[in-house]
Chains A and B, each alone.
Chain A
Amino acid sequence: MCRRIRDAVVVSVPGEIDALTAPQLLPAIERCVADGPPPRLPLVDLTSVTFLGSPGLKALLDVQAFSGRRDLPIRVVAADNRHATRPLQINRPGQGTDRSKRG
């Protein structure tokens, strides 16, 4: 699940991030970051995610808080995988509810 590219630890998350699987995200990243010589900047790879629900978004926030505490800048890569980019885009604070709606 983790692979090292220069100063980054790439954590690939394939498949569905839902209520069943979301709780595994933070522990997986903690394990990857704990392994090998520093620096270990976590990079969460969502390019092969097939579903990202609200429990997954919450888990990503937990990951962000964890990396903030460790002073490890985190990067999230989704490329053009709409299963990940769509929920992330809606969940962005202040942009979730201002989509214009028909009456």
Chain B
Amino acid sequence: MGATRNGPLHLLLPAIPVAVRDARLHLGNWLQRERWPDQPSDDISYGVSEAVTNAVEHAYPPDVDGATVTVIAEVELLPLSMRRVRVRVSDHGRWRPIPQVPDGRGRGFMLMNGLMDEVLVARGDGATMGTEVVLLSPSVPAVSG
């Protein structure tokens, strides 16, 4: 079977701007180990960067202690020897509505939607649970061996 070569990627990052770069680097390495093709891999990294940016910039009030972002990525096998990546980016902050006029945040979601097959947003109750953004990548052929 072997759904993935490495198992899921699990990152727990401090919700600070440099987390965006860290997430992208770890995810890029993980996708490389999964032998993901270059351009689709870049698209996943760009999309996840936007989700992490969103969590870092909008989920928490300034100077909150212990603010974190979690990134979990896993490969899903699909029929017809295809595969895709499901990435969940979650915070423990407060949900804020996405503005209609594309400001920075609206633009981030526009990019995610353009890069990914599907983008789902689950809002928490704001007390114990933050926002989770689920990104489903476009599918690529599975590799053998």
Contact = CB atoms under 8 A, between A and B. Distances in A.
A16 B18 CA distance: 11
Given A90-B111, A96-B114, A53 B53 contact: yes
A61 to B, nearest CB: 9
Contacts of B115: 86, 90
Given A19-B17, A53-B53, A82-B39, A99 B114 contact: yes
- For chain B, which range describes its interface: under 10, 10 to 19, 20 to 34, or 35 or more residues? 20 to 34
B37 to A, nearest CB: 13
A16 B42 contact: no
A18 interface: yes
B46 A87 contact: yes
A101 interface: yes
A18 B53 contact: yes
Interface in A71-103: 82-83, 86-87, 90-91, 96-97, 99, 101-102
Contacts, number: 70
A90 B108 CA distance: 11
Contacts of A19: 17, 20, 53, 56-57
Contact of B43 (A18, A51, A57, A86): A86
A20 interface: yes
Contacts of B117: 101-102
Nearest to B107: A54
B126 interface: no
Interface string B39-56: 100110010011001001
Interface in B28-70: 39, 42-43, 46, 49-50, 53, 56-57
The 6 closest A-B pairs by CB, nearest first: A90-B114, A54-B108, A54-B107, A96-B110, A20-B17, A19-B17
Interface of B: 17-18, 20-21, 24, 39, 42-43, 46, 49-50, 53, 56-57, 103-105, 107-108, 110-111, 113-115, 117-118, 139
10 contacts: A18-B17, A18-B20, A18-B53, A19-B56, A55-B104, A57-B107, A86-B115, A90-B115, A97-B113, A102-B117
